[in-house]
Amino acid sequence: MKKPPVSTLKVGTRGSPLALAQAHEVRDRLHALHAGIRAEIVVINTTGDAVQDRRLSEVGGKGLFTKEIQEALLDGRIDLAVHSMKDVETWLPDGTAIAALLEREDPRDVFISGKAKSLDELAAGAVIGTSSLRRQAQILHRRPDLRVETLRGNVQTRLRKLAEGVVDATLLALAGLKRLGNADVATGYIETDVILPAVAQGAVGIEIRKGDTPVEEAVAALNHHPTAIRISAERAMLAALDGSCHTPIGGLAELRGSEITLTGLVALPDGSECHRLMRSGPAEDAEALGTALGEELRARMPVDFFA
């Protein structure tokens, strides 16, 4: 085992159980790769964790889960940041880059309820709790007879509110449940032709300072190339849509040999209008494919929709 490029690394993360599980995985992998590295977890409180009574779209967007961590990265308090990539805004701050992506977990959503086995089996008027406009739009497009109410908090908080009867059902990301060892709470998996996942759902990214060669070298071997190709297509689509959590957008890229297939969706929050497209091309053109699909979807929406 060759000498590591650095001897210590401060790994920045949110303090939620899922975020910590992901950061510990990165730390453990770094220790396994580099016997001489000591990686230390640094928990950073984010605005997104502090504000739990409103949708993110009402208080500034999904960047509220990353802003304080990125500030700590830029001012040197941490050496790298571990993020759920679906929480990372479309454009990174100047001076940072995603240096590695862990192998993607299952990107599907799951349905959780004690009152029905699936979304389609819920009784008319049932209440589904979610803070995601993407999920809300697709639920209401499929089942306009249901009610959607805001449900914020980490996985444990949402499951507790469901058990207390605050809502009749909820949707969560399967990847997060798997990483927490809670996949068995799912009533059923939701296939991607029913609810398209969030862009980069299931992927964990490592953000570093641009030009920090020792840290870049330390994390390089953690990068899963097929995942990086898929995420590049999805995030290129998001950039073309100028997407944020104010906009119901879904996206999923899948690799089959040397070909990549990208499915994208954009909808009105009330589900009354929902556009879904699928395009395929060479994996080496993943980013260009994402941009083209995003532009095509954008052209289908009302002119003022993205204002």
> Which CATH number is associated with domain 234-300?
3.30.160.40
pLDDT at 58: 53
**From-to residues of CATH 3.30.160.40 in the chain:** 234-300
Strands 127-129 and 169-173: parallel
pLDDT at 2: 56
Phi/psi of residue 138, nearest 5 degrees: -75, -35
- Name the CATH superfamily housing domain 8-102+203-223: Periplasmic binding protein-like II (3.40.190.10)
What are the beta bridge partners of residue 278? 263
Task: Give the SS3 label for residue 72.
Answer: helix
C-alpha span between 9 and 258 (Å, rounded): 36
Q: What is the pLDDT of residue 62?
A: 56
pLDDT digits (tens, 9 = 90+) for 263-275: 999 999 999 999 9
Q: What is the pLDDT along the chain (307 residues), one digit of tens a residue?
A: 556 677 899 999 999 999 999 999 999 999 999 988 999 999 999 876 665 555 555 555 557 789 999 999 999 999 999 999 999 999 999 999 999 999 999 999 999 999 999 999 999 999 999 989 999 999 999 999 999 999 878 788 888 999 999 999 999 999 999 999 999 999 999 999 999 999 999 999 999 999 999 999 999 999 999 999 999 999 999 999 986 557 899 999 999 999 999 999 999 999 999 999 999 999 999 999 999 999 999 998 877 776 6
pLDDT at 60: 52
Where in the chain is CATH 3.40.190.10? Answer: 8-102+203-223, 109-190
Annotation says 168 is catalytic: no
Its pTM surpasses 0.85: yes
**The predicted structure's pLDDT at residue 153:** 80
Q: What is the per-residue pLDDT for 154?
A: 78
Which region holds residue 211: left if phi is over 0, alpha if psi is between -120 and 50, else beta? Answer: left
d(CA 216, CA 234): 23
Half-sphere exposure of residue 63: CA atoms within 13 angstroms, side-chain side:
13
Percent of the chain exceeding pLDDT 90 equals 82
- The confidence score (pLDDT) of residue 145 equals 98
Question: Which CATH code for domain 109-190?
Answer: 3.40.190.10
List 87, 109, 168, 212, catalytic entry: 87
Looking at residue 303, what is its pLDDT? Answer: 76
Would you state the pLDDT for residue 6?
Answer: 74
Token pair, residue 51, equals 């504000």
